[in-house]
Structure 1
Amino acid sequence: MKEIIAVIRMNKVSATKRALVDVGIAGFTAFKVMGRGRLVDDLAVIEERRKTLLSMSDSKGNEQVEKMVVQFLDGTRLFPRRLFTILAHDEDVDKIVAAIISVNRTDYKVGDGKIFVLPVLDAIRVRTGESGEAGV
C-alpha cells in the first residue's frame, strides 16, 4: 500500500478530481493549504507574470498589489494550494501519478505542484475493523 500526496494549483482541483475518478480512484481527501516552492533563479521564466502583476498595480495605483509583486519575487508570499491524499494499492500508483501529472502540467515552467509517494504500514476501516489491503 502507498499514500500519494499531491500538492496542486487551486485552479486544477476539478480536473484532478475528474482524472482520479476516470482512473478508478473514487476515495481521496483534499485540504486547502498554503505554501510555496523554490525561488525561481531565472527571472525570464516569471517575467510575463511579473508584468501582469505590475500592470495591475499601475492601473489601480494600489500599494497592496505592489506589495504582492515584491513578495511574489522575493519568496516571502505563500500561495493557496490544494493537497490531495490518496491511499492506493501498489499496482495503482503509476496510473494515479500519471493522471495527476497529465492534468496539472502547464506551460508556466514553474509552480505545477509536487507529488510524493510514501509507504503505508497499515490501514484500518473504522466501520468493520478490517485492516491491511481490505482496510483500503
Structure 2
Amino acid sequence: MKKITAMIKPFKLDDVREALAEIGVQGMTVSEVKGFGRQRGHTEIYRGAEYEVDFLPKIKIEIVLVDELVERAVEAIIASGRTGKVGDGKIFVLPVEEVVRIRTGETGSAAV
C-alpha cells in the first residue's frame, strides 16, 4: 500500500476529486493549508497599500491506496490538477506499512 499526498491549487479540488472517483478511489482526506515553493508568494494591493503574501493557499489531499491503483491515481491528479502555471503543486508517494479500520479491526488492504 502507498500513501499519496498531493498539494494542489484550491480551485482544482473538484476536478481532482471527480478524476479520482472515476478510477475507483473511495475516500480521501482534504485539508486547507498554506505554503510556498519556487513561486515564493506574491505581492498584493489592499486599500491602496502593497503587501507581500508569503504563504499561498493550497489544498492537501491524502489518500491511501493498494499498489495497483497508485499509478492511475497519480496520473489522474496530474491530468486534472494541472494548469500549466507555476504553483500547480506536488505529489508525494510514500510506503504504508499497516492500515487498521478502527470500527471492525480489519487490517491491510481490507481496511482501505
TM-score for the superposition, normalised by structure 2: 0.90
Q: Which runs of 5+ in 1 are unaligned?
A: 41-48
Correspondence for 2:102: 126
Correspondence for 2:87: 111
Correspondence for 2:5: 5
2:58 to 81, 98, 102: 81
For the residues of structure 2 that align with 1:100 and 1:28, how far apart are their CA atoms? 13
Structure 1 SS opposite 2:79: helix
| Pairing of 1:49-64 with structure 2 (within 5 A) | 57=45, 62-63=48-49
8 Å CA contact 2:99, 2:108 repeated in 1: yes
**Identity over aligned residues, as a percent?**
41
Alignment length (residue pairs): 111
8 Å CA contact 2:8, 2:88 repeated in 1: yes
Q: Which has the higher helix share?
A: 1
For the residues of structure 1 that align with 2:84 and 2:57, how far apart are their CA atoms? 19
Structure showing greater radius of gyration is 1
For the residues of structure 2 that align with 1:93 and 1:126, how far apart are their CA atoms? 24
TM-score for the superposition, normalised by structure 1: 0.75
Structure 1 SS opposite 2:15: helix
8 Å CA contact 2:35, 2:58 repeated in 1: yes
Structure 2 SS opposite 1:126: coil
Correspondence for 1:35: 35
**Higher RCO (C-alpha under 8 Å, 6+ residues apart):** 1
**What amino acid does structure 1 have at the position aligned with 2:15?**
A
Q: Which moved more, 1:113-122 or 1:21-30?
A: 21-30
**What amino acid does structure 1 have at the position aligned with 2:67?**
D
Structure 2 SS opposite 1:91: helix
**What amino acid does structure 2 have at the position aligned with 1:13?**
L
| 4+ long deviations beyond 4 Å | none
Q: Does 1:15 align with 2:1?
A: no
Correspondence for 1:99: 76
